[in-house]
């Protein structure tokens, strides 16, 4: 049984995490938020109080922290008495925060894979380059470290496990589909930091097919998916974190990740990339000074958090899991539909931040209760999926299924 | 009778001017090239010697000059004994170079209208904001100042005058059409300095119609033109220098300028402009530093002079002049077709630079011979067109006509 949560980061996802921790602080205890910029923590805290989100009276405090500084992070963990760290800062921080948790003996939860600033799209499986190198040490020390516990990766990993446990005898294909059918009303914007967002798409695309890693180019392979609520949408084979753990944990099934893009997004992306404006390498201007083009593009685009008030429409994210059941081929689609406007009304963030920020709080609640306090490093599909999906049903992300019997909610009480 | 030429500028157009002056140095005398960066003058001089372009033995020298410095320019004019200045530097220099010519009593020729760096698309007629304010003083002092003597403005002004003199009793419409059907093989590039190039299209579009200035947006009005050699091409109503003098000098006829753009160019331009990347106003980066997005785009795009070796295809630029002849409606199309590869083989520049750089040399030859040494300020349509077009026929830009009798060359000997 663990309690008291330290949230690392103060962006759009951290705002959702803070609100959801506050709504469940009877289970989670004290809440602390740490970011390089303390004023961003304070703004989140003000927003939590505005919405009267604290379930019971309790601590909610902000702290200035450079989370690359392991000793400073350890000191803050100790000073705040935190037993669970939810890392939703930039992807460059994971290994430092994980180290601090391992050294202080507390639980670690994140929502995205570690990245190094100067490297794009490393050798698969990506987890093997960083996090999994600490797995043995976590087990020896009894450290609970839950990797990729956002929506995708995270909830979609639990969906894959649920399909394998309950709906199929043997899984042959996992196709994760992420569609944002919402509209922010701007000419062009990214849903999170443009620097991190574009990095996802400027490298090659890895999938796990036929027992090996396959390589494609971004936007090379597209497919129309007919989905609940959002209708028919075109999605493209992309690289994504969860492919790199499911490839290991789904008994050899093919694993692919598909993200929906409209023609307009692809066009803008293609123009910017072709001209060289998405490059993370500096160019020299006529006056001799140097500047990184991607940073200029970022400065010209809307701040992702500014999109929330006007964002409308829904997201649909889920897994098509295909295999054999009772000797016959079967496909189930397990999914969630979220609404941008409802997310904004509840926690002041748009739907993309909401779907990413709610699941790590559910994971923290399961660590607090002991159900997921597994004393080792684990990806989400290695953990019991029903307690996780059960909490998500109750705190804002309903799991649904579509199969030969139609579409319906799934309940796990 | 004047001689000895000082060329201001050392870009792609200046290279053409230098080659053409060298090929006609029996008429023009000494040739001097001045630029802020003397090494660029030296490169042009080396190219002239490579091609053995000097018709007779004579002076060809480079000089470092900041042409915004009027006293320095006057000193160079005097020191070199130049009696004709061809200004093909940036459009920001015109008024300084013109002043230096007026003070030293020498002839001035340019190819584009004056611009101030921080102003885009000023009140029409554009010449009224700068050059024409010096017209009275030029006349009083007997200074020959020929404005806009490139291709467009320049040759197209002479075409309009020729149509009015020889082919129509009354002109009602002048539609200038500029089509570059060439291909440089790059994803995207501008044919001259991106900073100046994009400035032409980021403001509003002025045309002279029905006796008044009309205003449209860029790419708002498109029209398919069926043209000699290049075939059917889509052109868009644009703002351009020559509209602003022809509006005054064509007895009230409508004057419009149309430039051809492919869908790809328009798409890239629209994406960059919509995101704010064509802005000349600085944006603040995440680290607090400031940078002008347009300068970063310029740094990412190919250097226009680098396009020349691979440039293939043709340009077609001309005037559809419509009016009444012998009581009936008549339209003539007077035009030139130029070839990128031929231009490169002759003078080491692409076709766009070639069509812009040959005409001011023809104008200089007419000033040297006295025919255009008019001792006042003049736009090209105010001068006798046939001597100008006759020289152009001989030095690389053949005038053609298409009318009810078909397509044919025009000769003026």
CATH number at residue B168: 3.30.360.10
- On whether both B279 and B388 belong to a single domain, the answer is no
- Please report residues of B whose CB lies closer than 8 A to that of A283: 296, 299-300
The verdict on a CB contact (< 8 Å) between B296 and A291 is: yes
A300·B275 Cβ contact <8 A: yes
Quote the domain boundaries for residue A269: 155-348+400-409
Residues of A in contact with B298 (CB under 8 A): 285-286
Across the interface, do A300 and B267 touch by the CB < 8 Å criterion?
no
Same domain, B120 and B211: no
Residue A106 confidence (pLDDT) above 80 = yes
CA-wise closest residue to B132 among B200, B124, B67: B124
Check whether residue A204 and residue A277 sit in a common domain.
yes
User: What pLDDT, in 10s, does the model give residues B315-330?
Assistant: 999 999 999 999 999 9
The answer to whether B138 touches B109, Cβ cutoff 8 Å, is no
What is the number of residues in chain A? 413
Is residue A31 within 8 A of residue A5, CB to CB? The reply is yes
Q: ipTM of the assembly?
A: 0.80
Spatial neighbors of B22 by CB under 8 A, at least 6 apart, are B31, B48, B53, B54, B55, B60
H and E: helices and strands count for chain A: 15, 19
Choose among B268, B284, B298: nearest Cβ to A299: B284
* pLDDT value, residue A191: 85
pLDDT at B168 over 90: yes
Q: How far is B301 from chain A (nearest CA, A)?
A: 7
Kindly provide the residue ranges of all beta strands, DSSP E only, lying in B57-198, ordered along the sequence: 60-64, 84-87, 107-110, 145-147, 170-180
For chain B, what is the mean pLDDT? Answer: 95
Min Cα separation B36/chain A (Å):
14
What percentage of chain B has pLDDT greater than the value 70? 100
Least confident of A136-140, A196-200, A239-243, A354-358: A196-200
Assigned token pair, B409: 């060359």
Minimum-distance CB partner of B283 among A277, A286, A299: A299
Mean pLDDT of all residues in B10-14: 93
Tell whether B404 and B256 lie within a shared domain.
yes
Range among A200-204, B305-309, B363-367 rated most confident: B363-367
Mean residue pLDDT across chain A: 95
Model confidence at A194, pLDDT cuts 50, 70, 90, reads: confident
Q: Which pLDDT tens digit goes with each residue over B57-103?
A: 999 999 999 999 999 999 999 999 999 999 999 889 999 999 999 99
Cα–Cα distance, A215 to A182 (Å, whole number): 30
Residues B257 and B279 in one domain: yes
What does residue B108 show for φ and ψ, rounded to 5 degrees? -120, 135
The answer to whether the Cβ–Cβ distance between A283 and B295 falls below 8 Å is no
Q: Which residues 6+ apart lie within 8 Å of B206 measured at CB?
A: B121, B124, B213, B214, B215, B239, B243, B244
Residue A211 sits in the same domain as residue A327: yes
Supply the pLDDT for residue B116. 84
Contact A296 B293 (CB under 8 A): yes
Instruction: Please indicate, yes or no, whether residues A362 and A344 belong to a single structural domain of this protein.
Output: no
| pLDDT exceeds cutoff 80 at B119 | no
Q: Say what angle helices A194-202 and A293-300 make with each other, to 10 degrees.
A: 130
| CB contacts, 8 Å: B301 with chain A | 275
Task: Say which DSSP state B406 is in.
Answer: E
- For residue A296, list chain B residues with Cβ-Cβ distance below 8 A: 277, 283, 285, 291, 293, 296
**pLDDT tens digits, one per residue of A272-330:** 999 999 998 899 998 899 999 999 999 999 988 788 899 999 999 999 999 999 999 99
**Does residue A202 have a pLDDT over 80?**
no
The SS3 call for residue B367 is: helix
| Contacting residues of A for B90, CB less than 8 Å apart | none
B194 and B333 together in one domain: yes
Q: Give the CATH number for residue A62.
A: 3.40.50.720
A297 interaction partners in chain B (CB closer than 8 Å): 275, 277
Chain A residues whose C-beta is within 8 A of a chain B C-beta are 187-188, 267-268, 271-272, 274-277, 279, 283-287, 289, 291, 293, 295-301
pLDDT score of A280: 85
Count: domains in chain A? 2
A268–B285 C-beta distance less than 8 A: no
Do residue A332 and residue A363 come from a single domain?
Answer: no
Query: Is B135 found in the same domain as B218?
Result: no
**Minimal Cβ distance to A300: which of B267, B276, B300:** B276
* Chain B residues within 8 Å of chain A (Cβ atoms): 187-188, 267-268, 271-272, 274-277, 279, 283-287, 289, 291, 293, 295-301
Chain A residue with minimal CA distance to B274? A187
Confidence of residue A200 (pLDDT cuts 50, 70, 90): confident
Cβ distance of B300 and A285 shorter than 8 Å: no
Count CB pairs under 8 A between chains A and B: 79
Residues contacting A36, CB < 8 A, separation 6+: A64, A65, A66, A67
B296·A284 Cβ contact <8 A: no
Q: Do A122 and A245 belong together in one domain?
A: no
Torsion sign (Cα): A276, A280, A281, A283: positive
Structure tokens at A161: 């496990």
Query: Who's near B204: CB < 8 A, 6+ residues apart?
Result: B121, B215, B216, B217, B218, B239
- Please compute the mean of the pLDDT values over residues A234-247 and round it to a whole number: 96
Task: Kindly report, residue by residue over A67-101, the tens digit of the pLDDT.
Answer: 999 999 999 999 999 999 999 998 899 999 999 99
Q: Which of A267, A277, A301 sits opposite B300 (nearest CB)?
A: A277
CA distance B292 to chain A (A): 9
CA dist A375 and B108 (Å) reads 85
Same domain, B106 and B187: no
Average pLDDT of the residues in B343-369: 96
């Amino acid at each position: 049984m663990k309690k008291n949560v330290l949230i690392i980061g103060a962006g759009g996802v951290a705002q959702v995490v803070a609100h959801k921790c506050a709504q469940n602080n009877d289970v989670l205890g004290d809440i602390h938020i740490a970011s390089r910029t303390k004023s961003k923590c304070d703004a989140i805290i003000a927003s939590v109080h505005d919405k009267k989100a604290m379930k019971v009276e309790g601590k909610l405090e902000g702290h200035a922290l450079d989370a690359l500084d392991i000793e400073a992070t350890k000191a803050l963990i100790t000073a705040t008495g935190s037993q669970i760290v939810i890392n939703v800062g930039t992807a460059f921080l994971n290994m430092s925060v994980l180290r601090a948790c391992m050294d202080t003996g507390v639980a670690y939860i994140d929502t995205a894979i570690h990245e190094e600033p100067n490297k794009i799209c490393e050798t698969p499986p990506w987890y093997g380059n960083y996090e999994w190198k600490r797995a043995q040490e976590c087990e020896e020390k009894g450290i609970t470290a839950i990797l990729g516990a956002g929506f995708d990766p995270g909830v979609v990993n639990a969906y894959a496990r649920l399909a394998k446990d309950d709906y199929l005898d043997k899984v042959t294909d996992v196709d994760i589909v992420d569609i944002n059918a919402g509209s922010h009303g701007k000419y062009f914007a990214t849903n999170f930091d443009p620097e991190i967002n574009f990095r996802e798409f400027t490298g090659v695309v890895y999938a796990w097919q036929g027992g090996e890693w396959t390589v494609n180019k971004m936007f090379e392979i597209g497919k129309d998916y007919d989905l609940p609520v959002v209708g028919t949408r075109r999605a493209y084979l992309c690289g994504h974190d969860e492919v790199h753990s499911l490839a290991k944990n789904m008994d050899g099934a093919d694993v692919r990740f598909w993200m929906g893009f409209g023609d307009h997004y692809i066009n803008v992306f293609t123009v910017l990339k072709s001209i060289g404006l998405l490059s993370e390498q500096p160019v020299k201007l006529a006056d001799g000074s140097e500047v990184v083009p991607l940073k200029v593009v970022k400065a010209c685009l809307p701040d992702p958090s500014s999109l929330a008030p006007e964002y409308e429409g829904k997201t649909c994210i889920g897994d098509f899991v295909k295999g054999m059941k009772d000797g016959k081929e079967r496909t189930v689609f397990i999914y969630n539909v979220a609404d941008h406007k409802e997310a904004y009304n509840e926690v002041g963030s748009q739907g993309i931040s909401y779907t990413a920020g709610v699941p790590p709080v559910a994971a923290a609640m399961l660590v607090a209760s002991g159900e997921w306090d597994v004393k080792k490093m684990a990806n989400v599909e290695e953990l019991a999926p029903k307690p996780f999906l059960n909490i998500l049903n109750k705190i804002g992300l309903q799991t649904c299924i579509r199969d030969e019997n139609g579409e319906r909610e799934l309940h796990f009480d």
